Amino acid sequence: MQQTVTRVFVAKYSELPERIGQAVKVGEEEIALFRLTNGDVRAIENKSPHPKGGVLSEGLVSGEYVFCPLYDWKISLIDGNVQPPDEGKVKTYAVEVDGDDVYLLL
């Protein structure tokens, strides 16, 4: 069995507020979308890698990082890596912006 990449439309670029995470439910997956100050759009799984979990979409965004709103972990929006001294990784998704349409590549 072979899996193909699927483009899923998730948002209008112009409707994405800068530096405020948006929670999107795609199928069964909860995804947090972020439009950064530099214009890029990033998508990660909306679940903190902290053992107690929690959402990430409400976190404070700084540059290419989000701070977990519950336990203050600093997480890269580029590769999903939790920054030291904490450890862990969240799932990241590829994003494609086509005109005003934002797609996730799943």
Partner 1 sequence: MQKRKLVMIGNGMAGVRTIEELVKIAPDAFDITIFGKEPYPNYNRIQLSTILQGEMSFSDIIMNDWDWYESNHIQLYAGDQVVRVDTKEKIVYSESGRAVPYDELIFATGSLPLMLPIPGINKQGVIGFRDIHDCEMMMQAAKQYKKAAVIGAGLLGLEAASGLVHLGMDVHVVHLFGHIMEKQLDETAARLLQRELEAQGMNFLLEKETVEILGDDRVTGLRFKDGSEIAADFVVMAAGIVPNVKLAKESGLFVNRGIVVNDYLETSVPNVYAVGECAEHREIVYGLVAPLYEQAQVLAKRLVGMVEKGYEGSIVGTQLKVSGIDLFSAGEIYEAYETKAIKVHNELDGVYKKVLIRDGRIVGIVLYGDTSDSTRLFRMMQQKQDVSSLTDIAFLKEGGAKEEDVAMMADEELVCGCNGVTKGTIVQAIQQGASTVEQVGGCTNAGRSCGRCKPLIAKILEHTLGDAFAGQAQKETLCSCTDLNRDEVVAEIQAKGLTTVKEVMHVLGWKNEEGCSKCRPALNYYLGVIYPEYRDDRDSRLVNEKMHANIQKDGTYSVVPRMYGGVTTPEDLRRIADVAEKYRVPLVKLTGGQRIALFGIKKEDLPNVWADLGMLSGYAYGKTLRTVKTCVGATFCRYGTQDSMQLGIELEKRFERLDTPHKVKMGVSACPRNCAEAGVKDVGIVGVDGGWEIYVGGNGGTDLRAADLLCTVKTAEEVFEIVGAYLQYYRETAKYLERTSKWLERVGLSHVKEVVADEEKRTALNERLQRTLVRYEDPWRKVLEDEPLRQHYYTKRSIPVSVKED
Footprint of partner 1 on 42-81 (CB under 8 A): 52-55, 58-63, 67, 69-70, 72, 74
Token pair recorded at residue 57 = 């979409």
**Residue 85 Cβ vs partner 1, minimum distance, rounded to whole Å:** 11
How far apart are the C-alpha atoms of 68 and 86, rounded to whole Å? 12
Q: How many helices (H) and strands (E) does the chain have?
A: 0, 9
**Residue 26 Cβ vs partner 1, minimum distance, rounded to whole Å:** 5
Under rule CB under 8 A, residue 106 binds partner 1: yes
Residue where the block lists tokens 């800068």: 18
Residue where the block lists tokens 């030291």: 84
Site string for partner 1, 1-40 (x = CB under 8 A): xxxx-x-xxxx---x-x-xx-xxxxxxx--------x---
Q: How far is CA 2 from CA 5, 67, in A?
A: 10, 36
Could you give the residue ranges of the DSSP H alpha helices within the chain? none
User: Whose Cβ is closer to partner 1: residue 60's or residue 89's?
Assistant: 60
Binding site for partner 1 (CB under 8 A): 1-4, 6, 8-11, 15, 17, 19-20, 22-28, 37, 52-55, 58-63, 67, 69-70, 72, 74, 106
